[in-house]
Chain A
C-alpha cells in the first residue's frame, strides 16, 4: 500500500520534470507540456477505470457515471469527495472541489495563481481516461479562480 504522500510528491516532480526539459518554451511549448501531462493522466485514468469494483459499474445513465467520478474515483485518488456537481443537462458538467489536494499546500488566495494550471493537467487527463474506459468520450478542462478551489468542466462528446 503506497502512502498518498508519495503520489503528491511524485506528481510535483512530474510537473517539474516536464518544465525542466523545456527551459524556454516557445509559443506552443507550454501547451505541449500540458498535453504530455494530460496524456499521462489519461493513461492512469484508463487503467484505474479498468480496475474499479465491478458492482459500481452498473450505470444507467450519464449522470450516474459523473456521480461515480465525484464519489468513488475522487475518494480513491484524493481521499475526499468532490464538493459539488452541476450540469446543464446537455452534456456539460462542472465538478467543483473547494480544496483540491494538489493545490492545498501551495497557497490560499491568489498567490501562485499563474502556476496553478500545470498542477491540474494530470487530473484532467485522469478524469478523461476514466470516462473513456467507461465508454464516454469527453473533453475535460480545469479552471482556478482562487487557490485551492478549482473547477473541472467535463463536456461529453456525442458520437
Chain B
C-alpha cells in the first residue's frame, strides 16, 4: 500500500520534471540554433531573446483561458489585486510556488515578484559563454501575454536571477496602460 502511494508521488514529481526538462531541452536547442560563433554570441543573444519572447507570449495568451476557467477569479479592480492573483493563485496553480510581492512603486504601477525557488531552473547550470542568457525569460512572455488578454498592457522582466549568482530571482512588473475594447464603429 505504502509502495503504491510512494509511486503516486514519484509519478507526480516526474510529470513536473517533464516540464522542466523539456524546457531545458528547448533552450539548449535554441542556443545551438542561434550560435555559430563565439564572436557574435553577444549579438545573437539579442536575436535569441526577441525571438523567444513571443513564444512565452503565445503560451500566456492561451493559458489565461485555462486559468480563468479553472480558478473562478473575476476581474481585478487595481494592479495590487492583479499582483495578488498572479502570485497566490496563478503561480501556485501552474508552478506550485508562491512568489512574494515587494518593492511597490509609490504610484502603485510597479512591483516585484520574488521567486525563492524557480522550478524552471531545477537542473540548470549556466555555462560561462551564456552568461547573458536570461534562462527563464519564457515566464515574462507568459505574464505579458496573459495580462494582455484581460486588457492590461504590462512589461515584465528579470532584474535578478539566482542562475547568475543573485540571492533571489526577481521579476519586475510594470503596468503600462489599460487596453480599451475596440468596438467596431457604430456598435456602441
Contacts and interface: CB of A to CB of B under 8 A. Distances in A.
Determine if chain A interacts with chain B.
Answer: yes
Interface of A: 1-7, 9-11, 13-14, 16-17, 21, 36, 39-41, 43-44, 47-48, 51-53, 55-56, 72, 75-77, 79, 122
A77 B26 contact: no
Contacts of B13: 1
A55 B93 CA distance: 31
A76 B10 CA distance: 8
Contact of B59 (A4, A13, A72, A75): A13
Interface of B: 3, 6-7, 10-23, 25-26, 28-30, 33, 55, 58-59, 62-63, 66, 93-96, 119, 123
Given A10-B26, A10-B59, A76 B18 contact: yes
B5 to A, nearest CB: 12
A17 B55 contact: yes
B63 A9 contact: yes
Given A2-B16, A13-B55, A40 B62 contact: no
A53 B58 contact: no
A34 B28 CA distance: 16
24 contacts: A1-B12, A1-B96, A2-B16, A2-B94, A2-B95, A2-B119, A3-B93, A5-B94, A6-B59, A7-B18, A9-B63, A10-B26, A14-B22, A16-B58, A21-B33, A39-B29, A43-B25, A47-B123, A48-B21, A51-B14, A53-B7, A72-B7, A75-B11, A76-B11
B14 A40 contact: no
Contacts of A122: 22
Q: Closest 3 CB pairs between A and B? A: A1-B96, A76-B14, A2-B19
Contacts of B6: 53
B63 A48 contact: no
A44 B21 contact: yes
A51 B21 CA distance: 11
B62 to A, nearest CB: 6
Nearest to A44: B21
Contact of B15 (A40, A41, A79): A79
Nearest to A74: B11
A141 B186 CA distance: 55
A43 B25 CA distance: 7
A51 B58 contact: no
B171 to A, nearest CB: 17
A122 B33 CA distance: 17
